[in-house]
Structure formats: structure tokens, C-alpha cells
A and B are shown apart, each in its own frame.
Chain A
Amino acid sequence: MAGHHDEFIRLEGKIFTKSFFVLLTLVIVGFYYIGVRYVKGIGAVSNMSDGYPWGIWIAYDVATGTAIACGGYAMAILIYIRNHWKFHPLIRSALLTSLFGYCLAGFSVMVDLGRYWNSYGFFMPARWQINSAMFEVALCVMAYSTVLVIEFLPAVLWSLENSRGETLRKVSAWLHPRLVPDEAKLASGLEWVRAAAAWLRPRLDKVLVFFIVLGITLPTMHQSSLGSLLLIAATKLNPLWHTGFLPLLFLINCIYIGYSIVIMESIISSYAFKREIEYNELAGLSRIIPWLTVIWLSVRVGDLVHRGQIGNALKFDFYSCFFLLEFCLVAGGSMILFSRRMRRSPRWLFVTATMIILGGALYRFNVYLIGFNPGQGWHYFPSFAEVMITVGVIALEILGYQVLVKVFPVLPNPHKNGVGGQNTAEQIGLPSGAVPQGK
């Protein structure tokens, strides 16, 4: 009965751990300031100004956060388009992070929008403005979030099919003893839910691939458009970053960040949840990254040479330093990953993945904030409350991930996938199709 779903397992363990409460505190602080923002206006909590109308809520939560949430996108390309099915066990945790990343980016936008109550205008064709890169980003991100929910649905359906309603009973008993449903009613209700889930799941599995491909097309569109957003700021964005190649650079950038985040997340969850590391998958994955970064760095440098900006890039002034930092992080991380030995070491994998994520994220920060100069007299550094709102959103993301991997089968099943052990060396050389795995 398990079919290909035993490829993933539900993590056993308590939900209310110590880290749960730490994160919950951060979430509460963040939401307190969000409350203040809605009552007293954006100016009451943020340091944004007319010169710097976009602060860290856009630069981090939207522009960088969605890149970090590109794991699902990058993995879908690898598995379904490049035909490497051995990476399939990693996809659900990647999808879950993507889902959180995008939903919370959407949430942050609603905090950031001044006149949020008018945002229904995106659904009114009369108001559409197709020249606007933001219009494209907004529609695509909304569509992609929906697609991510559909892509994650099989895990939810599996849990519904296999649930015995114990949690429901416990929660209602805790709320009020009278709320506890009687056995017969619960059994028939559960039977109905299970039947519905069982009916839906195979049908969903059949059409799922069309949603997965949609989940590749949409990020290709909006991640490049996130770069296009700043094309208009020709007179404000430093020439080290302002180029017609912004869309292409943002697109490649999100893909290598996506793979790096999958590696980082796997290693962290292996340590945090005391599971074996998926050596084979991670080593294979890390081999792709340097190729992408080399293309990215070539476009980056080639463009600077073409526009005669190399001198400015090496001036070691404020802008040049940030450019070099971003460049060295990405280039350094990729150099290490070219070594086969380093790719087999979890420690170096973690270090390089972190370097590339930081470098790639810094690139986006440089484009959105650091390289942005509206003219004399304008300064921006985020306020405490502004930072806490972003921290609260990130905390909510980690918190949700922690809880959901214990509720739904998300993480790769170590027994099914033959991770670790002696057979690793043989497996790595096998063509992808021959690895004994479910779909």
C-alpha cells in the first residue's frame, strides 16, 4: 500500500521542544511590532524613508527570502528535467521550505504594502499594468505559492489516510471534555476523510507532473523579474550592479542558492534530528553548483568589462568592497566545491554551501539596498522593530518546518534510500535510473 510514499518518513518526536518555545518568543515579538505597524503606520516601526522606500522587508523577505526558498525549484529542475531521480528523496523537504519561503514572502509584502486593502486590484484586468515588472512578480508569486501547496498535497493526503484521529481527540479533550467526539462518530468521520484522501491521491499523482513543471516555469519567470524590478533605477543603482543582465543574473543566482540551501538544510536537519547524512545525494548535488556559479561569475565579470566598470570594481571604496565580498564568497565557495574530496566532507559541504548562500544573498542585498543610492542626504539602516518583524517571520518559517516534518512524511527515509553504510561507493557511480528507488 505504501507505494512510493515510503520513500519519505515522518519524523518521530515531541513537537514542543525547547527550540520551539525560543522560536515562538521571537514570533510573538515580531507579531507585536506588526500589530504596531497596522495601528500606527509604517513610519512608527521602520526607518524607511522617501529616499529608501524599500527596506529589509523587501530586500530580505522578498528578494532574498524567495531565492533561499528556491530549493524546490532547483530540485524539480534536477529531477524532472535533468532526469536525476536519485535526488527525489530530497524533494519534499525542499518543497516544504519553498512553500514556507514564498508564503512568508507574500505575508511580508502585506506588511510592507501601504495600502494593502487595495491589493485585490491584481485580480482586476482593468488595473493591470503589464509594463511593470512588479505586476509580473506579484501574479507569478501568487500562482507559484498555490502550485507549491498542490505539490505538497500528497504528503498531507498520506497523513490523512493514515491518521487515527488521536491528536484530534487529545486536543479537544484539552480544550473541553465535552468536545470529545464519541467513538462511532469519529470512526465514521475518519473513514470518510480517509476514503476521500485515498480517492484523491492517485488522481493527483497522475496530474502532479503538470503542476511540477508549472512550478519550474513560474520561478523562472518571477526570479528573473525580481532582477528586472531594479532595471528602472538606472540613475540610482550603482553601475557595478545596474545592467541589462539583471534578469539573467537573478535567475542563475536563485538556482545555485537553491541547491546550496538544499545541502545546508539536509546537513542541519541531520544534526538537529540526529539522522544519517544523505552523503550520495549531497555530493552529487554539490557537483552542479560550481558549474552554475562559474557561468554566473563569467556573465558578471564579462558585463563589467563590457561596460568599462572593472576599474570601479577594484577601487576598494564602499561599493567596491561590497562587490568584492559578494564575488569572493561565491567564487571561493565554488573553488572548494571543484575538489572531489571536499564534496565528500559534510563539514566542507556545509561551509561552502553557507559561503555561496551568503554571497548570493549579498548580491541581492547589494542590488536592492547597498548599491542603491537615491542621492545626497538619504540614509537607511533598519530599525530594531523593523529587524524584529523580519526575525519573527524567519522564526515562524523555522518553527513551521520543525513542526510539519513531525506531522507529515517529508524527510527522506534512510532505510529505503540506502543512505550511509558500505554501499555508498558503488551507488555514486550508478546511472540515476538504476538506483532502486520509488518514483
Chain B
Amino acid sequence: MKSQSRRDFFKMLGLGGATLLASSVPAMANEKVGVNNEALGMLYDATMCVGCKACMATCKRVNGDYGSLSYERASFDTDGLWDAPQDLSGSTRTLIKLYKESDSRWSYVKYSCMHCQKPSCVSVCPVSAMTKDKVTGVVDYNKDTCIGCRYCQVACSFTIPKFQWEKTLPQIVKCDLCKNTNLREKGITACAEVCPVGAITFGKRKELLEIAHTRLQDNPGRYIHHVYGEHELGGTNHLYLSALAFDKLGLPTLPDNAPAEFSEKIQHTIYKGFVAPVALYSALCFIALKNQKEQEKNGHKEDGE
């Protein structure tokens, strides 16, 4: 009886384990993402940037009202004339930073949402507050459905989505490629429009990649021979060129496959058509009912004696 039930137990466990195993193993194999090269994006050339921060100021001016953003305000500056953010934050969607290795080797770098081809934030949002536009490729945020769980922040490899920690009624803030402001009105992002030296190029991903590779070819020795974002995490629509190593500029070294592919595959295998949970429930019901009946019979016998 005992060994019998233990065997049953292991059988069950084995069954459960096998389904999970079967689900995880093929998921390891990495699948190529269908890349949309018609999507909109930007190419930032760190060697051309002069660090004037015009893009930062314009971004705040143009997008300040949208999404109930307020300027970061210093306590002595109630009029909001002065703003010097240290990092991307709940009120800053794009930021210029300086990386200084020595007096002769330094580089500016601009941070903002990478608008991934297969964005983790969209994959993990439980209430569809993060969405990716199929045509433009813009990764957008909707504060009216967001529940503020911050799973998108956990998921994003670039730590781009920012949360308004200091607000009573907070929201997530990230670049939306001026989708509701400059892009709609003028067909170009505010930062790319205002850049005085052409360090930010706005366009379709296909064209941006062409430009980037032409620059790499025409200027041997000027750049690191790599377009950051071409393959990282299955490709991003925001691309980078730089003379210094990308990881030094705060752009992490990342694998070519999207984490969302991996996690979705496992989740989908377990919950495909909701078959496994229903099967599990019915099987367990069958066993439990049988056991209960048997137990009741034994119990009554005991009472009778």
C-alpha cells in the first residue's frame, strides 16, 4: 500500500516534471525574430555629438504636458527655469551623459528608449499598458490601464522605463518617439529635429542601418566597428555608433536573442490552449473522488464495528 502510493507519487511527479522539462528544453533553442526594418527609429552618432543638451531641453518642452509630466524643480526654483537631471527619471525621457576616460579620450552618450523589435516590457505587462505599434514600431505606454506593478522595469535590459517614486499618483515614463507630439505634428522626433550637429538621425530602420554601415566603411578607425542595436536582443530601432566601447558608455553587452522569446516560449508551452491545466484538474478530480469514496467506505466500516 505504502510503496504503491509512493510509486504513484513519483509517477505523478515524473509526469509533471516531464511536461515541464519537455517545455523548457526546446525553448532553449533560439528562434530568429522577424525583424521589421520599416519601423521608425533613430541613429545616434556619439562621435558627432557636442553635448549641448538641446535634445534634452526640447524633449521636455515638447513632451512636458503629455502624460502629466512636470519638470524636475530645484527647491530654490519655483518657476521651473532650472533643470539638471542626473539620470533618466520620472520626469526625464532622454538624457546626455559624458564618459571621460582621459583628457583626450571621452565621449557623450544619449539615453532613451531603444524601441526593441521584441520588447520585454510589452511581453510582460499584465494589462496591455505597454504596446508596440505594428507599423511604426513605437513602444508606447498607456497610463490609463497601467497598474504600476513595475514588471516592465524588471524586464527591460536597458533599465529604461522609469517610475515616479515621489508621486502619490505615479506613472511609468519613457520615450514614445514623440508619437503624440512632435512626430504627429512634424513627422520627426523633437530631439532629432533640434540637434544642431546632426548627431541624431531620424528615419526608417532600414535607412538608418544603411547610413550607419556607410559611415563605418567611409571612416575606418573613427568608430568601433559595430552598430549597437542592430542585433542586440533581436534588434532595436534606436541605433548607436561610437568611438569608445559601448559598455563603457552604459550600453550593456547583450546577447542577440530577445529574452521575451525565451520566456514566452516556456509560458506558451505550459499553457497552450489551456489544455494542461484542464487536464490536470480533471485527472486530479478523478483521483480525489476515487480516494474519497474509498475512504468513506472504510470510515463507515469502522463506525459499524
Binding site for B on A (CB under 8 A): 4, 38-44, 46, 48-51, 53-54, 80-85, 112-116, 118-119, 121-122, 126-136, 138, 209-210, 212-214, 216-217, 220-221, 224-225, 228-236, 244-245, 247-248, 251, 295, 299, 372, 374-375, 378, 431-434, 436-439
Task: Compute how far the CA of A130 lies from the CA of B128 in the bound complex, rounded to whole angstroms.
Answer: 9
Indicate if the CB atoms of B170 and A132 lie closer than 8 Å.
no
Indicate if the CB atoms of B165 and A41 lie closer than 8 Å.
yes
Given contacts A51-B159, A251-B16, A431-B1, contact A375 B295 (CB under 8 A): no
Closest to A112 in B: B149
Residues of B within 8 A of A212 (CB): 288
Indicate if the CB atoms of A82 and B9 lie closer than 8 Å.
yes
Closest to B162 in A: A50
Residues of B within 8 A of A244 (CB): 24-25, 27-28, 262, 266
Given contacts A42-B170, A131-B264, contact A375 B159 (CB under 8 A): yes
Measured between C-beta atoms, what is the minimum distance from B130 to chain A in Å? 9
Residues of A within 8 A of B147 (CB): 113-116, 118-119, 121-122
Residues of B within 8 A of A224 (CB): 20, 270
Within 8 A of A (CB), among B1-36: 1-2, 5, 8-9, 12-13, 16-17, 20-21, 24-25, 27-28
Among B56-64, B190-198, B279-287, the one that faces the other chain is B279-287
Q: List 26 A-B contacts (CB under 8 A).
A: A41-B165, A42-B163, A43-B167, A53-B153, A82-B9, A83-B5, A83-B291, A114-B170, A132-B125, A132-B126, A134-B124, A134-B126, A136-B267, A213-B284, A217-B277, A224-B270, A232-B120, A232-B123, A232-B263, A236-B154, A236-B157, A245-B24, A247-B266, A375-B159, A434-B298, A434-B302
Given contacts A81-B287, A118-B147, A439-B296, contact A41 B168 (CB under 8 A): yes
- How many residue pairs link A and B with beta carbons under 8 A? The number is 222
Partner of A49, one of B13, B165, B255: B165
Given contacts A209-B292, A439-B299, contact A129 B170 (CB under 8 A): no
Indicate if the CB atoms of A48 and B165 lie closer than 8 Å.
yes
Task: Compute how far the CA of A418 lies from the CA of B143 in the bound complex, rounded to whole angstroms.
Answer: 60
Listed from nearest, the 5 A-B pairs whose CB atoms lie closest are A114-B148, A43-B165, A115-B148, A244-B24, A53-B150
Binding site for A on B (CB under 8 A): 1-2, 5, 8-9, 12-13, 16-17, 20-21, 24-25, 27-28, 88-89, 120, 123-128, 143-151, 153-155, 157, 159, 161-171, 250, 252, 254-255, 259-260, 262-264, 266-268, 270-271, 277, 280-281, 284-285, 287-289, 291-292, 294-296, 298-299, 302
Closest to A133 in B: B267
Task: Compute how far the CA of A50 lies from the CA of B145 in the bound complex, rounded to whole angstroms.
Answer: 20
Indicate if the CB atoms of B149 and A127 lie closer than 8 Å.
no
Closest to B173 in A: A50
Indicate if the CB atoms of A114 and B150 lie closer than 8 Å.
yes
Indicate if the CB atoms of B259 and A235 lie closer than 8 Å.
yes
Residues of B within 8 A of A230 (CB): 154
Indicate if the CB atoms of A41 and B170 lie closer than 8 Å.
yes
Given contacts A129-B125, A213-B284, contact A235 B267 (CB under 8 A): no
Task: Compute how far the CA of A162 lies from the CA of B42 in the bound complex, rounded to whole angstroms.
Answer: 73
Task: Compute how far the CA of A50 lies from the CA of B144 in the bound complex, rounded to whole angstroms.
Answer: 21
Measured between C-beta atoms, what is the minimum distance from A428 to chain B in Å? 11
Indicate if the CB atoms of B155 and A38 lie closer than 8 Å.
no
Measured between C-beta atoms, what is the minimum distance from A431 to chain B in Å? 5
Task: Compute how far the CA of A53 lies from the CA of B155 in the bound complex, rounded to whole angstroms.
Answer: 10
Indicate if the CB atoms of B127 and A248 lie closer than 8 Å.
no
Residues of A within 8 A of B291 (CB): 80-81, 83
Task: Compute how far the CA of A4 lies from the CA of B302 in the bound complex, rounded to whole angstroms.
Answer: 13
Task: Compute how far the CA of A247 lies from the CA of B20 in the bound complex, rounded to whole angstroms.
Answer: 8
Residues of A within 8 A of B9 (CB): 82
Task: Compute how far the CA of A228 lies from the CA of B263 in the bound complex, rounded to whole angstroms.
Answer: 7
Given contacts A113-B147, A113-B149, contact A217 B281 (CB under 8 A): yes
Indicate if the CB atoms of A84 and B5 lie closer than 8 Å.
yes
Indicate if the CB atoms of B145 and A132 lie closer than 8 Å.
no
Indicate if the CB atoms of A232 and B144 lie closer than 8 Å.
no
Indicate if the CB atoms of A234 and B259 lie closer than 8 Å.
yes
Residues of A within 8 A of B170 (CB): 41-42, 114-115
Partner of B262, one of A132, A133, A231, A438: A231
Partner of A38, one of B127, B168, B299: B168
Measured between C-beta atoms, what is the minimum distance from A339 to chain B in Å? 18
Residues of B within 8 A of A437 (CB): 299
Indicate if the CB atoms of A232 and B20 lie closer than 8 Å.
no
Indicate if the CB atoms of A115 and B299 lie closer than 8 Å.
no
Residues of B within 8 A of A115 (CB): 143, 146-148, 169-171
Measured between C-beta atoms, what is the minimum distance from A413 to chain B in Å? 16
Indicate if the CB atoms of B295 and A127 lie closer than 8 Å.
no
Task: Compute how far the CA of A121 lies from the CA of B144 in the bound complex, rounded to whole angstroms.
Answer: 10
Task: Compute how far the CA of A253 lies from the CA of B191 in the bound complex, rounded to whole angstroms.
Answer: 49
Given contacts A53-B153, A53-B154, A118-B144, contact A235 B264 (CB under 8 A): no
Residues of B within 8 A of A299 (CB): 17
Given A80-B284, A115-B169, A244-B28, 14 further pairs, Cβ under 8 A: A41-B164, A50-B163, A115-B170, A121-B147, A122-B147, A127-B145, A131-B264, A136-B267, A209-B292, A214-B281, A234-B263, A247-B266, A251-B16, A434-B302
